[in-house]
Copies of this chain bind each other. A is one copy, B any other.
Amino acid sequence: MPKASPSNSKKLRRQEAEALILSAAEKVFAEAGFGGATMQLIADVAGLPKANLHYYFPTKELLYRQVVQNIFEIWLQAADVFDQAEGPEEGIGAYIDAKMEISRRHPNGSKVWASEVMHGAPVIQDYLETTLTDWTNGRITVIERWISEGRMAPIDPRHLLYMLWATTQHYADFGHQIETLNGSAPLSDAQWEAAKNNIKTIILRGIGALPTA
């Protein structure tokens, strides 16, 4: 594994060093999983000696926890567009846009989160039970209001949210499969745009928030 930075014998400020390590850790955890990732490999990717990692993050688990928390923060921010919207077409459309952008820009983060949840969320169970539960309930209230206002069909808000998460995160978590089916090439700008529009069209029309074609 090559060094990420060829000449960084300079002393790093705490913030820079932590950011560098977290970035390397996110990549390695995404590619190998928690169990498959090694501190040595993370150190190599970051271009630092392994002992230096332990100086900033005492244990592998603490480092991992920090990575997962960072991702969660990004996701929560994407939710802001939801509440500011007038109706489902604008709100859900913007949410799909935001989540697809995250899938494209932070695929590693998405994978780490997916891996964590798939393994029973041993590290962030409390987040699921508190923050995520609250967030979900808040969005359900909004969707129910839209339904009562006749702006969309009476769809179960919970399962609609799951569908939004599933479809958008799929492009990050299963990106490798999608690239392979795309002739082993990354999706182009146009293909990402097509994917996004497809999701928006099908879901918005599916919940009766768009005029039928």
Contacts and interface: CB of A to CB of B under 8 A. Distances in A.
Interface string A102-116: 000000000100110
Given A177-B128, A180-B128, A180-B133, A119 B158 contact: no
B31 A33 contact: no
A4 interface: no
A160 B202 contact: yes
B181 A132 contact: yes
A: interface residue count bin? 35 or more
Contacts of A43: none
A136 interface: yes
Interface of A: 30-37, 111, 114-115, 117-121, 125, 128-129, 132-133, 136, 153, 155-156, 158-160, 162-163, 165-167, 169-171, 173-174, 176-178, 180-181, 184, 194-195, 198-199, 201-208, 212-213
